[in-house]
Amino acid sequence: MNFPFPDGWTPPAGISPEALVKIQQDFLEGWQRISKDAADGHLTPLKDRRFAGTAWASSPPHLMMAHLYLLSADAMSRMVTASEAAPEVKNRLEFSISQWLDALSPANFLATNPEAQAALVESGGETLVSGMSNLLSDLQKGRITQTDETKFKLGENVATTPGSVVFQNPYFQLLQYAPTTPTVFQKPILLVPPCINKFYILDLQPENSFVRFLVEQGFTVFLISWRNPIAEENDGMEKATWDDYLEQGVLKAIEVTQAISRQKQINALGFCVGGTMLATALAVAAARGQEPVSSVTMLTAMIDFRDTGMLGVFVDEQHAQLRERQIGQGGFMSARELGSTFSFLRPNELVWNYVVSNYLKGETPVAFDLLFWNSDGTNLPGPFFTWYFRNTYLENKLRQPNALKCCGVPIDMRKVKIPAFIYASREDHIVPWQSAFATLSLFSGENTFVLGASGHIAGVINPPAKNKRSYWVGPTESKTQDPEKWDQQATEKPGSWWPTWVEWLATQSGKRVRAPKQAGRAPFDVLEAAPGSYVKVRAV
């Protein structure tokens, strides 16, 4: 069937008439098919989990509505795909259209959700009362509750690995974890987590704690617990810069770890933006003629920001200038806004799913440690954030030799000549694995690359005992290797990547020595027990 355009009418700009006709034909044929199946009582149940419940399958009007919604959403998405707009414009269009389509799902409204209606009737109206109570509570919090937060307490059932705070300044507390083996590797490892979230993603519960696993393998672990700056403290942190976080954060933590362990060189690991900060700090040290770290591990971290994945829709000069006017000279990028941004990268899983369960069905979210951590964000100083946004996401200068000065010296990633272990997650929507792979061509040392299954967090936090997922290893000898070619040659292995990394780390850590009897060393005495007090400050 053809759709001739009326006289004087032209298709929307940027879409060819042929493409539009094809979309229209498919839409009409789909509508007719759905209508016929509904009339005959043969509508197929949907696999989309928003509409997969028995209430949808047993209610023909609701099931038909869900089918038509998905048909319409597909047509809208195809129109964006068919547009001839510039790539950056098309990406924004795709993101915007998907946000609206996800928001308008019939599952999100009581009047069109048969599961919520059935729960309302069966409960005698109780789900409506509890749903309204959940909504009012979340309005007071300023965010959607994703887990039963009453079930978790820091130091009691999350962040429980024994250790001590051995140093603190206005930027961070340094934790040293207690050994569990009679001997330990000579060189300790310093973990640099992202300052956008709390450190305990690396120390959730004992069975999935990255820190505990490392300690059990005989490594002495130090970890940065970034402070969560809040305006009420009025101590100048609202003016803290990227350089401050390098000098008084990462480099200071390296210095204290060296002093306590009495090692001229240590191992270091950076996770997400913590990896970007660590790499920059090592480039600063190299520019100063120093090499305080003998090996570096990068977990889902970027230095080359050419492809920033879904976050790229927020990156342009106008946004950078807006943030610089708002908070570039002082203030905070709030944890609430950052959290909302990341949630709406996966709205069906992290937003609308909870709108339906919490508000329409009046349910209490299940207790899940990962989502408890996810809700516990931190504020970022405005000058720090705006420097990071412009020089990485917008202008991608970290990868350019001597294009930036940090801490007063020009930085060149090629001067980082130590062995590097670079990990990425295949389904990462925050750090595309190809972007993490690009670090191979920036560091000059002997590099190892491993690709894990799953996403930004689940791919990293994959303890061996659970025997879940898989990972890929392949050739990394070529600095200019194409990631897709690497992927074609890689070998998939079952289970966790942690043992492969630990085997590599052991070769970088020296001989085994007697485990220290106590944490710290003068003048770095124990200040308090882990997880420390900084991590317990929640963003307002």
Q: Is 148 helix (H, G, I), strand (E, B) or coil?
A: coil
Name every residue whose Cβ is closer than 8 Å to that of residue 67 and which is 6 or more positions away in sequence.
34, 38, 43, 46
Nearest to 297 by CA among 228, 244, 396, 221: 221
Kindly report which listed range (77-91, 122-136, 282-296, 423-437) carries the lowest average pLDDT score: 77-91
As a whole number, mean pLDDT of residues 142-151 equals 92
- Enter the tokens of residue 266: 């240590």
pLDDT reported for residue 5? 43
Residue 234 pLDDT greater than 90, yes or no? no
Residue from 486, 485, 476, 416 nearest 444 by CA = 416
- pLDDT tier, 12 (very low <50, low <70, confident <90, very high otherwise): low
Token pair listed for 174: 């340094």
- Kindly indicate the confidence band of residue 231, based on its pLDDT and cuts at 50, 70 and 90: confident
CA distance 216 to 179: 8
Q: For residue 288, what are the CA distances in angstroms to 291, 292, 408, 410?
A: 9, 11, 10, 10
Catalytic residue among 195, 272, 406, 407: 272
Token pair listed for 395: 């202008």
Residue 77 has pLDDT above 60, yes or no: yes
User: 476: pLDDT confidence band, cut at 50, 70 and 90?
Assistant: low
- Both tokens assigned to 15: 């879409």
pLDDT score recorded for residue 480: 54
Take residue 464 and report the two structure tokens written for it: 């061996």
What pLDDT is attached to residue 1?
38
CA distances, 177 to each of 84, 363, 505 (Å)? 55, 39, 18
pLDDT band at 6 (very low <50, low <70, confident <90, very high): very low
Q: Which residues pair with residue 406 across a beta bridge?
A: 409
Mean local confidence (pLDDT), 175-197: 97
Q: How far apart are CA 416 and CA 423, in angstroms?
A: 17
Quick one: tokens of 247?
Answer: 């000098």
CB 219 within 8 A of CB 505: yes
The half-sphere exposure of 244 on its side-chain side, counting CA atoms within 13 A, is: 19
Return mean pLDDT, the chain.
Answer: 93
Sign (positive or negative) of CA dihedral 397, 399, 404, 407: positive
Question: Of 4-8, 140-144, 271-275, 284-288, where does mean pLDDT reach its minimum?
Answer: 4-8
Residue 2 has pLDDT above 60, yes or no: no
State the DSSP string of 40-61.
Answer: HT-PPPP-STTS-SHHHHT-HH
What's the pLDDT score for residue 4?
45
Domain residue spans of the chain: 17-86, 163-331+379-536
pLDDT of residue 494: 97
**What six digits make up the tokens of 421?**
């272990």
With a cut of 70, say whether residue 7 has pLDDT above it.
Answer: no
Stretch 241-256: mean pLDDT: 98
> Which pLDDT score, from 0 to 100, does residue 372 have?
94
Q: Could you report the per-residue pLDDT of 484-529, keeping only the tens digit for each? A: 999 999 999 999 999 999 999 999 999 999 999 999 999 999 999 9
| 440 contact partners, CB below 8 Å, separation of at least 6 | 422, 447, 449, 476, 479, 481
Q: Report the pLDDT value the prediction gives residue 477, as an integer from 0 to 100.
A: 58
Structure tokens at 414: 């090629």
Higher pLDDT, 485 or 255: 255
pLDDT on residue 91: 87
What's the confidence (pLDDT) of residue 9? 45
* The model scores a pTM over 0.85: yes
- Which tops the pLDDT comparison, 278 or 1? 278
* N-terminal to C-terminal alpha carbon distance within the chain: 58
Q: What is the pLDDT of residue 233?
A: 80
407 is catalytic: no
DSSP string for 368-431: -HHHHHHT-B--EEHHHHHHHIIIIIIT--TTSTTS-EETTEE--GGG--S-EEEEEETT-SSS
Top CATH class, 163-331+379-536: alpha beta
Centroid of chain to Cα 3: 45
Q: If pLDDT is split at 50, 70 and 90, which confidence band does 89 have? A: confident
- Predicted local distance difference test score (pLDDT) of residue 3: 42
Least confident of 175-184, 242-251, 297-306, 341-350: 341-350
DSSP per residue over 9-48, as a string? --PPTTS-HHHHHHHHHHHHHHHHHHHHHHHHT-PPPP-S
Under 8 Å between Cβ of 315 and 308:
yes
Does the pLDDT of residue 220 top 90, yes or no? yes
What single string gives the DSSP state of each residue in 308-350?
A: -GGGGGG-SHHHHHHHHHHHTTS-EE-HHHHHHHHHTTSHIII
pLDDT of amino acid 232: 79
Give the mean model confidence (pLDDT) for residues 161-176: 98
Under a CB-based contact definition with an 8 Å cutoff, are residues 219 and 188 in contact? yes
Helical (H) or strand (E) element with 63: helix 60-82
User: How long, in residues, is the chain?
Assistant: 540
The SS3 call for residue 453 is coil
DSSP E strands, 460-507: 470-473, 491-494
Residue 200 has a pLDDT of 97
Closest to 243 (Cα-Cα) out of 201, 200, 197, 287: 287
